[in-house]
Amino acid sequence: MVLKPDGKAIMGTHVTIDDDVVRAAEKLAREQDRTVGEVISDLARRALPTQPEIVYPEGFPLLPKRPGVVVTLDFVNALRDEDP
């Protein structure tokens, strides 16, 4: 593996990609003045699910916010009081 000046790794990997996908990636690469590998890597990265980062202030996990979920003391008490 070789590192480019921007810190990205240059690595050889063999993958089989459908012709229409390669043509589309080549077109995007020309339009964006980038390499085909950069375009395909970008598209693949965007398709992967993101993993929210969990931080541990004072040793306890602080879970990421979820849209539409508000945690209140009443909510916590209701969960605590549920039968197992």
pLDDT in tens, 9-68: 777 778 899 999 999 999 999 999 999 999 999 999 999 988 777 889 888 888 777 888
Q: H-type helices in the chain, by residue range?
A: 19-32, 36-47, 73-81
Eight-class DSSP state of 28: H
Domain assignment of residue 15, given as a range: 2-81
pLDDT of 1 reads 63
| Gap between the Cα atoms of 56 and 64, Å rounded | 11
| Gap between the Cα atoms of 59 and 37, Å rounded | 40
Lowest mean pLDDT among 3-7, 67-71, 76-80: 3-7
| Gap between the Cα atoms of 25 and 67, Å rounded | 34
Q: Which residue has the tokens 């050889």?
A: 12
Structurally, how many domains does the chain consist of?
A: 1
